[in-house]
Structure 1
Amino acid sequence: MVDIATRVWNHKWKIDPIVRSLIDTDFYKLLMCQSVFRNKRDTQVTFSLINRSTNVPLAKLIDEGELREQLDHIRSLSLRRNESTWLRGNTFYGKRQMFRPDFMEWFENLRLPAYHLERVGDQYELTFEGKWPEVMLWEIPALAVLMELRGRAVLNDMGRFELQVLYARAMTKLWEKIERLREVPELRIADFGTRRRHSFLWQDWCVQAMVEGLGESFVGTSNCLIAKSRDLEAIGTNAHELPMVYAALAEDDAALKQAPYDVLADWHEEHDGNLRMILPDTYGTEEFLRDAPDWLAGWTGVRIDSGDPAAGAETAIRWWNERGEDPRRKLVIFSDGLDVAKILELQAQFAGRVRVSFGWGTLLTNDFRGLTPDDRLAPFSLVCKAVEANGRPTVKLSDNPKKAMGPKDEIARYKRVFGVGEQVAQDVIV
């Protein structure tokens, strides 16, 4: 087991790359990338960094030269032979050769495209432009670099013993969470914490703690590199990025209305079983399910990622009942801002009514709240999203209006087209 505090102390004296592998990313990114490579490979997109927590002045905390050094290092990476062998030959979700030879040949020759970085006040503008399959792979490593550099800026002021105590307290805090979760019958939980982790080493430690503390209740990790090195299941399906870009490419309102279902029709051709998970909230969960084609009711389940999670699950249960499906055979994955209390509450509410699973993210891999003066290591809400496709702006409505993004006039248009009514705003935790 790595002595994290010592590594943190030592990296003060030399460059310590934050991202060391192209598969230090979320599994759903690679699944989506293959789908995009097959269906929309020439689409031009722009991804942009969005700091929702404007009280965190990233440009004051993070040295621009150091940030560029880390991003340049990522551009030097290529897929290693053993990583390619793992992707080509491993079984994922019960399927061998999940990744097709043409996609793997492309991925093996990939270097990530250029980035554009500019300081604007106390924040950074960081954007990536180019072909969709290439640019989309910047999202996770870019977020991981910024989150860890912000952490390093705080940790740099600490002495060696102070660092040892900090990590001892953080380890104790996580282990106490695990002790509460291990009492939950039929718990199924995975690590979804790559994007906004404290650091790679800390995420790896958290995964090892979950393996030891929860046993079979811990079903895997979204991080491909950790899944490979720890011989764990790689977990993930799809994300909002797909419908956001498909919708932006729509030529008129009718095509816009159809776009989220076109995404899943393409997905249906490639995947079955537990990979057939609906993410319905991009343009409103109730609205999506109300107009969904009947064949989607036969999919394995839904992932709830915004709004009131209990309300979202109840909406899905009603929809399955209306479509003649047995909700007890369906899977609901909760993945938005989870911590132990919410996991316990949702498990108790829905156990026996649906198959319940949890994707535990930032508050698994970055919960240093209350462990430093002024809470300088508390997690914050940082995202990197597709903001433009073939010159057109993207839009996300979400079930929480505080997570909406896009030009105001386009948000209004999307609400009209998708029939989105009154929404209840909720605090964005992470």
Structure 2
Amino acid sequence: MVDIATRVWNHKWKIDPIVRSMIDTDFYKLLMCQSVFRNKPDARVTFSLINRTKDIRLAELIDEVELREHLDYIRSLSVTRGESTWLRGNTFYGKRQMFRSDFMEWFEKLRLPDYNLEKRDGQYELTFEGSWPEVMLWEIPALTVLMELRGRAVLNRMERFELQILYARAMTKLWQKVERLRAVPSLRIADFGTRRRHSFLWQDWCVQAMMEGLGDSFIGTSNCLIAMRREVEAIGTNAHELPMVYAALARNDRELAEAPYQVLEDWQEEHEGNLRIILPDTYGTEGFLRHAPHWLAGWTGIRIDSGDPAAGAETAIDWWLSRGEDPTQKLVIFSDGLDVDKILELQQKFYGRVKPSFGWGTLLTNDFRGLVPNDALRPFSLVCKAVSANGQPTVKLSDNPNKSMGPPDEVARYKRVFDVGAQTSFEVVV
């Protein structure tokens, strides 16, 4: 097992680059990229970094030269032969050859496109512009670089003994969480923590701890590189990016209203089983389900990623019942800001009524709260979102208005088209 504290103390980034592989990314990103490569390869999309936690002024913490070095290093990466063999030949979700030959041939030749980086008001403005299949693959590495460089800025001020104690405490903190979870029968939980992890080495350690501590209750990791190296399942389906861009490409209100369902029609042509998971909250869950086509009720389950998770699950149960489906056979994946107390609460409330599953993210792979002075390593909310497509702005409404984004006039239009009523705000922690 890697001595992380010593590795940090002796740190040379070319030995430990923050992003060390083209598949050091989330599995759902590759699944979505293949879908985009097939269905919308010519769309021109812009992605932008958005720091929701304004008091963490990244441009004052992170050296621009070092940031550019890491971003430039990522642009030098390509898929290795071993990684290609794993993607081409492995079985994912019970399906062999998940990734088609034409997509893999394109992916094997890919180098990520250039980036634009500026400083403004103590923050970095980092954007990526180009063809959708290419620029979408910047999202995860961009986030991991910014998250880890912020952490290194704090760690660089610590002495060797301090680092040893810090990681010992962090390991103890995580293991105590694992011990609480291991007592839960029929738990299904996966690592969803790549995008806001403390570091690659720490995420890898967390996965190993979950494997040993939870056994069969740990169902896999979203991180492709760790899944390959640790021989565990790669976990992931799709995200808000798809409906956001499809909606921005719509030419009128009728096409806009149909866009989220067109995404899932395209997805259904490629995938079945546990990959048929609905993410309904991009433009409000209740309106999405109210207007959903009948065939969508037959999908395997729903992922709940904003708003009150218990209320979201109740809405899903009511919808399935109204469509003649048996909720006890449906998968409900909770994935928003989870930690142990919330996981235990939701498992107790919904086990037996649905098949609950949990995607544990930032508070698994980056929970150093209370371990350094001034809580300088506390997690924060950093995202990298598609902000325009073919020159048109994207919009996200969410079930939590604190996560919404887009120009005010377009937000108002989307609320009208998608029949979004009053919404309740929730604090965005991560």
TM over 0.5: yes
Partners of 2:56 and 2:159 lie apart in 1 by 23
* Structure-2 residue corresponding to 1:223: 223
* Structure-1 residue corresponding to 2:163: 163
Q: Which amino acid aligns with 1:210?
A: M
* Structure-2 residue corresponding to 1:38: 38
SS at match of 1:396: coil
* Structure-1 residue corresponding to 2:248: 248
Asked if 1:153 is matched to 2:115, the reply is no
Q: Which amino acid aligns with 1:374?
A: N
Partners of 2:270 and 2:185 lie apart in 1 by 34
1:286-325 per-position Cα deviation (integer Å, ceiling 9, x unaligned): 0000000000000000000000000000000000000000
Q: Which amino acid aligns with 1:228?
A: M
Asked if 1:73 is matched to 2:76, the reply is no
* Structure-2 residue corresponding to 1:351: 351
User: 1:125-144 maps to which residues of 2 (within 5 A)?
Assistant: 125-144=125-144
SS at match of 1:83: helix
SS at match of 1:130: strand
User: 1:20-419 maps to which residues of 2 (within 5 A)?
Assistant: 20-419=20-419
SS at match of 2:205: helix
Q: Which amino acid aligns with 2:185?
A: P
Partners of 2:13 and 2:116 lie apart in 1 by 28
Structure 1 residue 429, shift from structure 2 partner: 1.2
1:137-170 per-position Cα deviation (integer Å, ceiling 9, x unaligned): 0000000000000000000000001000000000
1:235-267 per-position Cα deviation (integer Å, ceiling 9, x unaligned): 000000000000000000010000000000000
SS at match of 2:11: helix
Partners of 1:191 and 1:41 lie apart in 2 by 30
* Structure-2 residue corresponding to 1:7: 7
Q: Which amino acid aligns with 1:288?
A: F
Length, aligned pairs only = 430
Contact 1:306–1:398 (CA<8 Å) still a contact in 2?
yes
* Percent identity for Structure 1 against Structure 2: 81
Q: Which amino acid aligns with 2:226?
A: I
Partners of 2:160 and 2:268 lie apart in 1 by 52
Partners of 1:386 and 1:126 lie apart in 2 by 12
Structure 1 residue 121, shift from structure 2 partner: 2.1
Partners of 1:128 and 1:15 lie apart in 2 by 27
Partners of 1:113 and 1:262 lie apart in 2 by 28
| Structure 1 residues without counterparts, runs of 5 or longer | none
SS at match of 2:10: helix
SS at match of 1:11: coil
Q: CA RMSD in A?
A: 0.7
SS at match of 1:178: helix
Structure 1 residue 70, shift from structure 2 partner: 0.2
Partners of 1:98 and 1:280 lie apart in 2 by 24
Partners of 1:263 and 1:204 lie apart in 2 by 33
SS at match of 1:5: helix
Partners of 2:377 and 2:236 lie apart in 1 by 27
Q: Which amino acid aligns with 2:7?
A: R
Partners of 1:282 and 1:158 lie apart in 2 by 41
Structure 1 residue 17, shift from structure 2 partner: 1.4
| Structure 2 residues without counterparts, runs of 5 or longer | none
Partners of 2:94 and 2:273 lie apart in 1 by 9
Structure 1 residue 14, shift from structure 2 partner: 6.5
Partners of 2:258 and 2:242 lie apart in 1 by 13
1:23-67 per-position Cα deviation (integer Å, ceiling 9, x unaligned): 000000000000000000010000000000000010000000000
Partners of 1:331 and 1:12 lie apart in 2 by 44
1:184-227 per-position Cα deviation (integer Å, ceiling 9, x unaligned): 11000000000000000000000000000000000000000000
Structure 1 residue 16, shift from structure 2 partner: 3.7
Structure 1 residue 12, shift from structure 2 partner: 5.7
Residues 14 and 156 (structure 1), Cα distance of their counterparts in 2 relative to 1, 3 Å cut: farther
Partners of 1:72 and 1:63 lie apart in 2 by 14
Structure 1 residue 11, shift from structure 2 partner: 1.1
SS at match of 1:359: strand
Contact 1:244–1:395 (CA<8 Å) still a contact in 2?
yes
SS at match of 1:142: helix
Partners of 1:162 and 1:240 lie apart in 2 by 40
What TM-score do the two structures reach when normalised by structure 1? 0.99
